[in-house]
């Protein structure tokens, strides 16, 4: 795992040498290391996996996290443009799905290449309201209780007061980014959208995820997997095969 010439990207395996790229957008509180265990599967498909590296985590932990979508997109997209010089797809899980979507819209506005497909996982369609009470201003105990319902937060963080205090500002910033997000209507993307959801995800049930069908003028698919909000951890190999299907 190594950084590209921009801090916004983390490269896995023989990255930038394969003929095809998949950009992975992490979820709340996570960095590209969340996808490090996926790299071997993509190498077997001759596909480069590139993790998006938001500020405030990993090697960028000294940088303040960005809590506003427009600010994030304005800072990130220009740095990513040189890496869209060959066919690529976007995959985003939870918060990452929303960021991937807004990145695709920013590329369209800039006249830049579009992803061949947009995979959106475990996040409501952007035009649909958040049915859950916001967490980003909750006291710390209630903040982490809410995160526990989603799953995915490492037990060592939940069990350590020091680590909870350390990660709380980052997590609040990420939550603020998508909880305060305001959808601005635009024409649907001329890109296939593939929506992924967990059959038992109580926080973002499949019917909310399937609302993404309104955001593609090309095609839409829905795949529902057994599991909760972090079904991706139990179905990694199947998801890698899906992401790589028909490439080449």
- CATH number of the domain enclosing 84: 3.40.50.1820
With a CB cutoff of 8 Å and minimum separation 6, the contacts of 31 are 10, 51, 53, 54, 57, 58, 60
Checking DSSP bridges between strand 88-93 and strand 2-3, what pairing results, if any?
A: unpaired
Buried/exposed 85-111: b ≥16 CB within 10 Å, e otherwise: eeebbbbbbbbbbbbbbbbbbbbbeee
Task: Give the C-alpha separation, 118 to 189, whole Å.
Answer: 10
Beta strands in 130-247 (DSSP E): 193-198, 220-225
Q: Which residues in the chain come in under a pLDDT of 50?
A: none
Cβ 55 vs Cβ 63: under 8 Å: yes
pLDDT of the residue at 159: 59
CA dist., res. 130 & res. 239, Å (int): 26
The total number of structural domains that make up the chain:
1
Would you state the pLDDT for residue 61?
92
pLDDT tens-digit profile of 57-114? 999 999 999 999 999 999 999 999 999 999 999 999 999 999 999 999 999 999 999 9
* Cβ–Cβ < 8 Å for 73, 5: no
The pLDDT value recorded for residue 168 is: 80
pLDDT at site 228: 93
Around Cβ 156, how many Cβ atoms within 10 Å? Answer: 8
Q: Taking a C-beta distance cutoff of 8 angstroms, is the pair 7, 78 a contact?
A: no
- The CA distance from 231 to 68, in Å, is 27
Strand partners, 9: 52
DSSP helix/strand/coil, 24: strand
* Encoded tokens for 174: 């990420």
Q: Among 74, 76, 71, which Cα is nearest to 9's?
A: 76
Alpha-carbon distance 93 to 144, whole Å?
Answer: 19
Owning domain of residue 151? 2-244
Task: Say what the pLDDT of residue 10 is.
Answer: 94
Backbone angles phi, psi at 13, to 5 degrees: 60, -140
How far apart are the C-alpha atoms of 3 and 52, rounded to whole Å?
10
User: What is the CA angle 143-146-151, rounded to 5?
Assistant: 125
| pLDDT number for residue 112 | 97
What integer pLDDT is reported at residue 153 of this predicted model? 65
CA distance 115 to 84: 8
User: Cβ-count burial of 157 within 10 angstroms (0-12 exposed, 13-18 middle, 19+ buried)?
Assistant: middle
Residue 230's pLDDT is: 92
What is the chain's Cα-based Rg? 17
């Amino acid at each position: 795992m190594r950084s590209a010439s921009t801090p916004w990207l983390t490269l896995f395996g023989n990255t930038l040498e394969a003929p095809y790229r998949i950009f992975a957008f992490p979820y709340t509180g996570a960095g590209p290391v969340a996808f490090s265990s996926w790299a071997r599967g993509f190498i077997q498909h001759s596909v480069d996996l590139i993790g998006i590296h938001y500020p405030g985590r990993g090697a960028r932990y000294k940088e303040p996290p960005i809590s506003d979508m427009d600010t994030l997109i304005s800072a990130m997209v220009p740095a990513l443009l040189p890496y869209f010089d060959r066919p690529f797809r976007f995959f985003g899980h939870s918060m990452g799905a929303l960021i991937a979507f807004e990145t695709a819209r920013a590329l369209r506005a800039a006249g830049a290449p579009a992803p061949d497909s947009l995979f959106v996982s475990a996040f409501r369609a952007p035009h649909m309201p958040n049915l859950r009470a916001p967490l980003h201003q909750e006291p710390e105990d209630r903040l982490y209780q809410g995160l526990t319902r989603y799953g995915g937060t490492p037990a060592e963080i939940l069990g350590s007061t020091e680590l909870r205090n350390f990660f709380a500002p980052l997590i609040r910033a990420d939550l603020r980014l998508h909880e305060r997000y305001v959808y601005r209507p635009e024409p649907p993307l001329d890109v296939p959208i593939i929506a992924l959801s967990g059959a038992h995800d109580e926080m973002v049930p499949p019917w909310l995820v399937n609302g993404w069908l309104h955001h593609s003028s090309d095609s839409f698919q829905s795949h529902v997997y057994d599991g909760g909000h972090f079904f991706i951890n139990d179905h990694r190999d199947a998801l890698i095969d899906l992401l790589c299907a028909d490439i080449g």
